[in-house]
Every structure is written in structure tokens, then in C-alpha cells.
Chains A and B, each alone.
Chain A
Amino acid sequence: MPIKKVRSHISPNEVLLFERSSPGKKAYQLPELDVPAVDPTTALGATNVRAEITGFPEVSEVEAIRHFTRLSTWNYAIDHGMYPLGSCTMKYNPRVNELVARTEGLAWAHPYQPESLSQGAMEVMAHLESALLEITGMDAVTLQPAAGAQGELTGILLIRALLQKRGNPRKKILIPDSAHGTNPATAAIAGYVVENIRSDEHGLLDLAALEKSVTEDVAGLMVTNPNTLGVFESRIIAAAEVLHRKGALLYMDGANMNALVGIARPGDFGVDVMHLNLHKTFSTPHGGGGPGGGPVAVKKHLEPFLPVPRLKRAGDQWTFDYDRPDSIGKVKAFYGNFGVLVRALAYILAHGGNGLRAATVDAVLNANYIRKMLEPYFDLPYALPNMHEVVFSDERQARLGVRTGDIAKRLIDYGFHPYTVSFPLIVRGAMMIEPTETEGKRELDLFIDAMISIAKEIETEPETVKSAPHNTRTSRVDEVKAARKPVLKWSPA
């Protein structure tokens, strides 16, 4: 089958900035100084003043713009096409969000400017808070955490604070074996011992195992719902009851909340605390790995412990309340990644309640369509109905010596970013595919064609797949070499 989506084109070479530099070149202009110059050694003391910054770039403006433009063309991005990275939710990033985040009065707002001159920014935060509460069915939310992992940490610290207040913070956090690696890392940072619990044969929470594990030592359970197989944890209400009976709490990792918005609310199915990833469900750009936003929503009993400050209404003004004696403190300076909050609110405003629900439905439909079309070609180890993503195994292809990582690299030749490789760990050779609501049938069909074509190549010419990618400017990268003798910065030859 021919590759339909792409053909190769010229891709310019570019050296590093440091190799491009020549002495005296510059790309800046500063205004004439309107005050007397100051001698640095007099003002700071001779020992405090540095010599020139050896190796720092010296390029012209044209060289600078060409440098970064050329480098940019070496990236694949959502703007190029489908980016089906499971659990990462690579959906379209609306450009109006970028524009409004640059609104002068918002972008230039200083976090310490008087509250009377910050009412617009505080209004944005309050507006987002109320929308997120409606979407999650929770009682209170903090916008402070910088991203999902920090949201998790905040959530677990909240659980610890509540249990401490009740007299005993307890020792353990339970985590299903299907969980993302961040969950155990978070629990450890919050001072808890991690106990893994096995999933049942369907990849779901095993209630009997849970019941056995929940002792007086257990502070809580961290669960992703839908789980990392894209399957809704249907016993979630019963699981919450098991935990609550023993005084433990239920934490929900909201990484997959985009499968639930408008359909089901964690606040209605027993969740005590959860985080949201604004850069997943609410379309803020991933930017090559950040920034994100990780608000944490809680039920009433956890509200006193939320980070300071809290937004509060005082008459007709917003104000920040720092007088919160039970608060866990601050997890980050200031109030959160405000610029990300602006973008998330813009997404919610554009969609409205019905639009948000429609996005969920489309995302689930897209994932199910891919599942049905690819099921004849790839092994599906867990057969329960899936929501927004589907996880295949490379079982069938592995018999011919081709693994999930190879198939992923071959997808690149077909013009797609790979799916998520080898995760979740409970699936052998996992291929985790999440199309999001962004894709229409045309792009989905091209992807399906590509996957089927690769499945056939594996039978006829497995070497082509194993040595992919072939059409990129950079061929397969030697990651082993990079780790064996790390070179982490440029040095002059």
C-alpha cells in the first residue's frame, strides 16, 4: 500500500547557535540610557562583576530567526496532523487562546499589584474555578499546581493533612498496577509507602484485592478513571465505599477526564480529590513538554487544607484569603500558571456545556472506530468497551520479530506521530492510541490505512519496519550511546 499522507521535501540543515556565532554580531537594540551610567565595579564590588560570558551566542537577527525557523521544521506537531499519543490527549490548540493569553492587561499583570487593580485576573480565575466545579461535580478547586504531577502531589498532601487532623496520617497509598509512573513517584514524595494492587483479568480494579489491602494503615487509593486501558472503572462507587468505610480516601488522576466531561462527574461517583490536566482535557498547548496546569478539585471535607491563597468574594470585589490555618501551604509561588488558566477558560467558553459534551462523544467515537478497524490486524488483550483510547498489544507482530517500538517508528514514515509505546505496563508490547475529538474521518482513515499497511509489511518485509524511519531527515537515534557517555552541553571542538 502506498504512503498516502506524505512525501519528502527539502529540509534545511542548521548548526548550533554557538557554531553560527561570530564576535560582535548582535540581534538586539536597547534604547539610549536616560540616566547616568554606573560603573559596575563601583556599584557591585570588583569581585562580584563577571568577565564576558564565554561561548554565549553572537548572531544577527536574520540568523536568529532562520535558526529557530529551521529547527522548528524538524518537529512533528498537531498542526501537521494526527498525534495519537495515548493518555497525552493531543488535541487541537485553538489559536484564539494564544491571542487572549497575550491580552495586555492580563499578560503584564504583576502578581503583587494591588488587588483593586487585579480584579480582571481574579475574575478569570474565579470563572474557571466555577466551570471546573460544574464539570467535575466537586465542591472546591485550587488552580495553583503547575501541572498534573504537581496536582497529584497537592492532592496526596491534602489527604495527608486531613488524616493528620483526624489524628493519624497513615502510611500507605494504594496504586493499581495499570497506573502511570507518576502516581507512585508522587506518593513517595508525599512521604507515603506505595503498595501496588493487581488489576483483575479485565484490567479493572479488583474489589476483592482492594478490600484485602485497605487496612487502617492505608491513606488512600490513587486511581485513573477511565484507566490507562481507556476503560471506565465500573466498580468505582463500590471502591469508594470500601475506602471510606476504613477512613481512607479516593484520589482520581484526571488525566483521562476528556472521556468523561459532560457524561459523568467524579464528584458524583465517590471521588474525594482529583486533578485535571488543563493541557490535556482543556486544550492548552503542550509546547514540546510544558507549561501545563494541574488544578486540584476536592470535596468539602478537604477544602480547609487547600493551598493558600484562596479566592474570596468581599462585597463586590475579589480578594485573596491567606488566613487558612489548616492549609498545606503553597506548592508554587503566586497563584498558578495563570496564562494557562486563561487558555483553558477560553476553551470552555468557546465550547459551552453542550460543546464540551460533544467533544467527549466525538473523542470516544473516534477511539472506538479505530478499535473496530484495527481489531482484525492487532491483538486486543483487554476486550471491555473502551472510552477515549484503545490499547493494542504487539503480540501478533512480535512473533515475527517486530515490536511496538518498531511499528511506532514506521508510522513516522507514513506521516503520523506514533501512539504511546509500551504503556500501560500490564499490556505486553502496548500500543496505546488516542485520537481525540480533533480528528475527522479522513485523517482517521489515513491512520488506519497506515497501521494496516504496516501490519502487512511486517509479514512481507519486516526489516523495513525494524529499521524505520526511512523518510525523516534524522534516522533512528542511538539512545544507548547518549546515555552511556552523556554529552549534555555544547563544547568548542
Chain B
Amino acid sequence: MLDACGVESPEDLFAHLPEAVRLQQPLRLPAGISEYEIVDYFRRCGDRNANGYATFLGAGVYSHYRPVLVDTVVSRGEFLTSYTPYQAEISQGTLTTIFEFQTMICQLTGMDLANASMYDGSTGLAEAALMAARLTSKGGLLVARSVHPEYQEVLQTYAKNQGMPITEFGYDPETGAADLNDLEHKLNDLTAAVIVQSPNFFGVVEDVNRAAEIAHKRGALLVMGFTEAVSLGILEPPAADIVAGELQSFAISPSYGGPYAGIIATREKFARQMPGRLVGETTDTHGNRAFCLTLATREQHIRREKATSNICTNQALIALMATVFMTVYGKQGLRELAEQNLAKAHYLAGKLKPRFSGPFFNEFVVSAPDDANRLLLEKKIIGGLPLDRFYPELSGTMLLCATEMSRRADMDDVAQALMPAAPALLPAQTNERS
């Protein structure tokens, strides 16, 4: 090969680089290590994390069981080691699964079309907001304070330089649901989108349809976010204009915050402003059904600075995990899974005193003594998320989540730690409510 290239050493291939740019010494990195040492290194890192703990953390990332088939499928090199399916003739595997994914997301959300996935729920929500602005030719965003605080931060980052002012509307201190009076009050003709999340960050199911009615009165679109996809197995799909959510609950490991997969789904009439990849059905020259990427004229590699978004990747492999998950659970299983989550969370809540009265799915807010989480850690249980970090007005409370993986005994321990004095202080019926 060197002869063919007309050089004596491969180093000669770099001879044309200006001397001033060349690195004059070797990289100061240790020598390469063996496969065993790599496995051992990461195992030791894993052991320094919370290994083998039960957890009651939710807040946008949920501990659900991952069916074995998920890893079996995504470990196939044909899915794992292929690129974005630009060459349709040799990418029908990926294209077909994305088409099925788009279909299932529509079935779940009640929307007409869904894209091939977004980076995650937080960026998906931001892209949905930008999409709403393009559709309405307006810029104002009205965001519920009960939307995941980190999603709100991402939204800020994206909206700031687009001339899109963000106004927050509050939540009802009794129910924990978005304060729709406050929404109505703050809504104006410059509002492009009203953004709510359901179930919201406190776990409370929002009245999305009512929020949509209010938004539509002033020509704004209703964008609904979600972080707990399993809730879609039981909750009525909302009358939103754009649904943007996070699929981490669908067999995607928590993995310390990513990679996850987001979705955007919307109405037919908004298709041309949809960001991200779309797969469509067509035929090949023999007339057989085939799939390909389509409506690419919205995308950055064609439209450059006029594109609907700057992103190139979707989260194909992660979306495939969600697709396999939805297939394994299916129509009956997703409902049963959602019902188990509902039952577990309501069992735990029944032993405690939820801070809010609104209906909830598998998360809820409770008052918590300062040292509750510390005591739970001694039992190898990670308790809830203290909310003062994001909501100073809710200091002294935490957000708890129970899923199908929460064991009854652990939930009893959590209840014990959170209400150690409960039997003495509270009447029995309060303690038993469900």
C-alpha cells in the first residue's frame, strides 16, 4: 500500500501539514489496555455508584423493567452498526422499524403523524415550541411552572436567541395542576404556544383539553409534553396540537441521564413544519412495498439555514428499543403495566399524605422530614427527589415515584421513614386513604 501511495512510511502522508500545527510529542495518555481491564475498570466504576439499591426517584427518569427481547434485538449488528438509512435499498430493516415506530406513536398519542424521534424529551419540547412559532408566525411562549424544570431550562436556551419571550404560569397550590386562570390571564395575541406537561412534574394529570381550548381562543397552539410514557397506556390522549415527550420509560435504561429518545407528534395539517426525520411508504421498481426517508426538503442538508431544525441524528437505536418494548407489551400489556404502576403508586400514597389533591399516575409529592432520605439509604433505598432544588416554595417536600418494580416491603419502609410519627399524630382513616 505504501508503494502504491508512493511513500516510504505512512508518516510521509502527513508531510504536507505545516510544521506549526503538528503535535510535537505523543499524546499524554496511558498505553492501551486489554478487554479484561476495560471491563474491570467500568465494573469498579459501577460499584462506586448506587448498585443494588431500590429507588423511588422518578422526575423524568423511571425505573421500569426492560424485557430481554429489547437488548436481543438492538444488539444485532445490522441495527447497531448501520448508518442513517439514506440508501433505502439496503436499509429497509431500519426504515420499516421507524415506520412502525411512527405508527405506534400516533396510536398512543392520538396524533396524525409522528417523526422518527428526537434527541430526548427536553430537546423535543424545545423543538415543538419552535415549530409552534413557525406555524403561528408568533413568538411568545407560555409555559406551565409544572413542566419539568430542566425541560424549561432547555427551552430557555433554545428560545432566547429566537426572539421568543417565555412567560411562566403557575400551578394551583391545592391540586398541583396548572393554574388555568393564570394561563387565561397571561395569554395574549402574541402567544405562539401554551406548553403543559401531563402528568406534570408533580405527577398530576393536567386538564390538557381545557388548556387547549383556552389557547385556541387567542390563536395559540397547545403543546403537551410528557416524561412518563407508560402513562399513555391508561390516560386519554389529549386534544393537543403538538405532543412532545420522552420515551425513556419504554425499556431505555436510566443510564445517568441518557441516551434517551424524544418524540414529536402532531396533526396532519402541520406536517411541513415538523422537525426531524420522517419515513414514508412507497414502492420499489418491482412494485413491492418499500420505505424511505421523505419530506427531506424540510431538513438542514437541503435547506441549510432555512431548515426546520439543525439536527441530523434522530435516536434510531433508542427508538428501536421503544419499538420492541411496545411490541412486547402490546395492546394488553401496556394497559396492564400502566395499571400496575397506578396501583403501586396509590398503595404508597395511601400510606402517606400527598401534598396535592389532583389525580396522579405513578408520582406524587409528599412532605418529608429532612433526614428521611438518609435513613432510607441505610436500608439501601433511594428515596424521593427533594423539591426545594427546583421549587423553593415546596421546600420540605419530595417527589416520590413507584413503578411495577417497586416492592411492597420497600414501599412500607419508605412510608415508615417519611411518616415515622404518623400513627401517633394522624387519625387512622387519614393514614388509610387511597
Contact = CB atoms under 8 A, between A and B. Distances in A.
B73 A65 contact: yes
Given A185-B307, A285-B317, A339-B255, 4 more contacts: A184-B305, A289-B313, A290-B259, A291-B259
Given A58-B331, A99-B39, A113-B57, A72 B310 contact: no
B121 A333 contact: yes
A323 interface: no
Given A40-B234, A189-B162, A481-B283, A110 B313 contact: no
Contacts of A120: 44-49
A298 interface: no
Contact of B255 (A36, A106, A444): A106
Contacts of B93: 71-75
Contacts of B55: 110, 113
A19 B158 CA distance: 41
Given A106-B45, A349-B33, A111 B235 contact: no
Contact of A75 (B92, B205, B279): B92
A275 B152 CA distance: 24
B162 A237 contact: no
Contacts of B21: 232, 234, 236-237, 264, 268-269
B260 to A, nearest CB: 8
Contacts of A80: 77-78
A61 B69 contact: yes
Contact of A100 (B39, B116, B301, B361): B39
Given A99-B39, A354-B32, A59 B327 contact: yes
Contact of B47 (A26, A76, A105, A184): A105
A197 interface: no
Nearest to A259: B14
A330 B122 CA distance: 10
Interface stretch (B106-114, B138-146, B189-197, B419-427): B106-114
A182 interface: yes
A188 B31 contact: no
Interface in B1-51: 1-2, 4-7, 10-11, 13-14, 16-18, 20-23, 26-33, 35, 37-39, 41-51
Contacts of A180: 301
24 contacts: A17-B100, A26-B332, A38-B342, A56-B326, A65-B69, A72-B78, A74-B93, A75-B79, A76-B78, A77-B80, A77-B82, A106-B46, A112-B59, A181-B303, A185-B305, A189-B158, A285-B80, A329-B160, A349-B33, A362-B10, A368-B7, A469-B90, A479-B293, A488-B278
A234 B50 contact: no
A58 to B, nearest CB: 5
Contacts of A73: 78, 93
A102 B340 CA distance: 26
Contacts of B353: none
A318 to B, nearest CB: 10
Contacts of B91: 74-76, 288
Interface string B100-143: 10111011100011101101111100000010000000000000
A313 interface: no
B75 A106 contact: no
Given A93-B81, A117-B382, A288 B331 contact: no
Given A37-B343, A150-B311, A191-B161, A478 B303 contact: no
Contacts of B361: 44
A148 interface: yes
A412 B280 contact: no
Contact of A67 (B280, B300, B327): B327
Contacts of A75: 78-79, 82, 85, 90-94
Given A16-B96, A33-B340, A335-B257, A365 B10 contact: yes
Contacts of B30: 352-353
Interface in A347-396: 348-357, 361-362, 364-366, 368-369, 372-373, 384-385
Contact of A286 (B1, B83, B254): B83
A338 B256 contact: yes
A5 interface: no
Given A111-B254, A262-B23, A475-B286, A351 B92 contact: no
A16 B100 contact: yes
Contacts of A198: none
Contact of B257 (A48, A49, A334, A474): A334
Contact of A290 (B48, B71, B314, B346): B314
A237 B20 contact: yes
A469 B89 CA distance: 8
Given A38-B346, A44-B205, A44-B359, A61 B328 contact: yes
Interface pairs A-B: 9 shortest CB-CB:
A105-B46, A287-B317, A334-B257, A191-B161, A79-B77, A352-B32, A120-B48, A291-B259, A353-B27
B119 A339 contact: no
Interface in A80-135: 80, 83, 85, 88, 90, 92-93, 96, 98-114, 117-121, 123-124, 131, 134-135
Interface string A38-49: 101001110111
Given A18-B103, A474-B92, A482-B280, A346 B38 contact: yes
B162 A103 contact: no
A368 B92 contact: no
Given A106-B46, A189-B162, A290-B313, A38 B235 contact: no
B87 A76 contact: yes
Interface in A258-309: 261-265, 268-269, 279, 285-293, 307
A201 interface: no
A174 B348 CA distance: 57
B284 A290 contact: no
Contacts of B46: 103-106, 120
Contacts of A103: 42-43, 45-46
Contact of B326 (A57, A98, A131): A57
A191 B157 CA distance: 12
Contacts of A262: 23, 26-27
Contacts of A483: 280, 294-297
Nearest to B127: A189
Most chain B CB neighbours (cut-off 10 Å) among A30, A48, A118, A268: A48
Given A38-B343, A123-B45, A117 B50 contact: yes
A54 B79 CA distance: 28
A189 B317 contact: no
